[in-house]
Structure 1
Amino acid sequence: MPQSKPDEPFVRKVFKALVLVVGAAMFLSFSFGPILQALGPSDSQDTANLVTEQLRAQADGYRAVLEREPDNPIALRGLIDTQLQLNEPQGAIEPLKKLVELEPENRQLRAFLAQIQQDTGDLEGALEQLQILHEKDPKDSQVLQELADVQLALGRPSQAIELLENYLKEVPEDNDVRLRLAFIYVRNNQTEKAVALYDEMIAADPSDFAPVLGKAIALTSATDENLRAKAPELFEQAARLAPPKVREEIRQQAKLYAQRNQP
């Protein structure tokens, strides 16, 4: 007598049903949250493995298309998407570069490539993309700050400072960039410059907690003991000015800096 076929795991039945109902193309956008909560740990892992297999199969399909049509934007975007869903950002870089070549004026795409390169440790590659974006639009402060951050991460604080200082000569009212510049001054042991910049911002808007907090942090690294002694009061002032949800965090930071500066 032939043996009966083992029952198919419930989660595999669910998987097949979903593919049939919503279609293979839409399946990956379906939310598994409620289902995973209803299933046990082993079933949840089984579902995760099946989704991973599906994503890898899709990635292989996109690669096959790109072998025949290397400039196919749909396949390029599909491969990028599957690599990111697989949490394999390194595999998204080459198709992203190709897509940027095909759409050189797409700033969002180039900025996304720069972000992925930063996340995967390719700081020089990110720097190249950000410099292109900055040259095409020097007034884009978000790109400017990211460019300064990459320069700082590469151990080039003087280039980051020069970049921000030059921008502020043209747009002196940009407080986000002023805060970033003051922060880099502190990182570069230029405490006096940082404090002077924070004082300008505090005078312009005494209700803004950010420059008060920045000044407090800057003073914790001052060589003058009298200046360091002013930091606790500034931390408390910043906490009072800050939104309620961040006040406790500021006070915790104040305690950490106080402990660090104990003799």
Structure 2
Amino acid sequence: MTLKRDSWLVRGVLILAVAAFVAVPVLFAFNGRSSSQQANPSQTQTAADQATKLQGQIDGYTAVLEREPENETALIGLIEAKIALGDLEGTVEPLERLANLRPETPEYAIALAQTKQQLGDLEGAAQVYRRVLTQTPGSVPALEGLVALLISQERSEAAIGLLQDTLTTADQTNELTPGSIDKLSVKLLLGQVYVEQQNYDQALKIYDEAIADAQSATPTQPDFRPTLAKALVLQEQGKTTEATALFDQALALTPTQYKDGVQQLIDEKTGATPTAPSPSGDAAGESPDEAEAPAAE
């Protein structure tokens, strides 16, 4: 099965809408500070000058780490500088050290897995994702990463099994550690795998369960995502009347800061004339500065 870029963009929206409308790989969070500092040191600075400056930073951080191998600040600085220099392969070793140094911070391990995946080390990436899920069974970024990896290898049944196993153990895990597994997000991801298989009946069944779960969890303001997901499937099936009704419901349930983003997605999927954005700015309700930040997949 071929990984469809468009549907996985929708998946990212559905799973991570509570945080943002573009799923930015964790890795790129590392160079946020360095990029803001280095983007405009001088309009006349040449690429060679910038590369020299970055190499100097790398040498400095490396020297610090020779004296203090567990210096977290130096490790992060080294990763940021190597990303800015375009040396993605060079980030693997410091990311591994950082992930081992801070196992309680799964974002570092997720970044390591994403990096390995981008570099073509799929087995290495899978091992890291599974390690994160052993420590944090409900980690949505780790589940997303591993599921996407399995789908890209045409192992959709393995992806389904992973998600079903997560749901099977969710209640017991949440009893031991409340809030560990967000069953709704896992069901949304499982539904999307069925969409990838074009198994729309099974996807709709999962989304109906998720809608009921959302209604039960917060009757006054249920989570909009499963309703939006079901509408997207119905739209894909050509059931536009049913889809339109659910799109309206989803939009009504969507928190204010996400309404523009949901409306934009609906317009894109239905071919409607784009709705004018709210006066507050961008599609996801972020500040203008946040809206201008580059997104990466």
Scaled to the shorter chain, the TM-score interval is 0.5 to 0.7
CA contact (8 A) 1:145 1:177 kept: no
- The 1-side partners of 2:236 and 2:51 are apart by 49
In 1, Cα distance between equivalents of 2:92 and 2:162:
27
Give the TM-score of the pair, scaled to structure 1.
Answer: 0.66
Query: Alignment partner for residue 180 of structure 1, among 176, 186, 189?
Result: 189
Change (3 A) 1:179 1:102: closer
Deviation at 1:221, TM superposition (A): 2.9
The yes-or-no answer on 1:159 pairing with 2:125 is no
Work out whether residues 99 and 109 of structure 2, in 8 Å CA contact, stay in contact via their aligned partners in 1: no
Whole-angstrom CA distance in 1 between matches of 2:63 and 2:259: 54
Corresponding residue for residue 8 of structure 1: none
String of CA shifts for 1:177-221, please: whole Å, max 9, x gaps. 111111211112111111112112223334321111000111123
* Corresponding position of 2:252: 240
Do the aligned partners of residues 29 and 148 (structure 1) sit closer, same or farther apart at CA in structure 2, a change above 3 Å counting? closer
Matched letter for residue 151 of structure 2:
L
Residues 116-160 of structure 1: per-residue CA shift (max 9 Å, x gap): 223445433311211222234435454333322322233322111
Taking only aligned residues, the RMSD between alpha carbons, in angstroms, comes to 3.8
SS at match of 2:161: helix
* Aligned with 1:214 (options 202, 224, 229): 229
The yes-or-no answer on 1:191 pairing with 2:200 is yes
Alignment of 1:101-120 (within 5 A): 103=101, 105=103, 108=106, 109-120=108-119
Q: Is the 8 A contact 2:129 2:145 kept in 1?
A: yes
Q: Which amino acid aligns with 1:217?
A: L
Question: Per chain length, whose mean CA-contact separation is higher, i.e. which structure has more relative contact order (CA < 8 Å, sep 6+)?
Answer: 2
2:183 corresponds to which letter in structure 1? D
Distance 1:155 1:100, change over 3 A: farther
**Radius of gyration: which is bigger?**
1
With over 3 angstroms needed to count, the CA separation of the structure-2 counterparts of 1:246 and 1:71, relative to structure 1, is closer
Distance in 2 (alpha carbons) for counterparts of 1:246 and 1:31: 26
Could you tell me which runs of 5 or more consecutive residues in structure 1 were left unpaired when the two chains were aligned.
1-27, 37-42
Q: Structure 2 vs 1, CA of residues 175 and 106 (structure 1 numbering), >3 Å: closer, same or farther?
A: closer
Query: Is 1:250 equivalent to 2:249 in the alignment?
Result: no
For the 8 Å contact 1:239–1:248, the answer to whether it is kept is no
1:114, 1:34 → 2: CA distance? 27
Cα offsets for 1:5-37 (capped at 9, x unmatched): xxxxxxxxxxxxxxxxxxxxxxx979758985x
CA 1:70–1:147 in structure 2 vs 1: closer, same or farther (change >3 Å)? farther
Farther-moved stretch of structure 1 (227-236 vs 251-260): 251-260
Deviation at 1:94, TM superposition (A): 3.2
Partner of 1:39: none
Matched residue count: 221
* More helix as a share of residues: 1
Please tell me whether the aligned partners of residues 114 and 126 of structure 1 are also in contact (alpha carbons under 8 angstroms). Answer: yes
Mean alpha-carbon deviation: is it higher for 144-153 or for 175-184?
Answer: 144-153
Alpha-carbon distance between aligned partners in 2 of 1:61 and 1:32, rounded to the nearest angstrom: 17
- Give, as a single letter, the amino acid of the residue that structure 2 aligns with 1:257: K
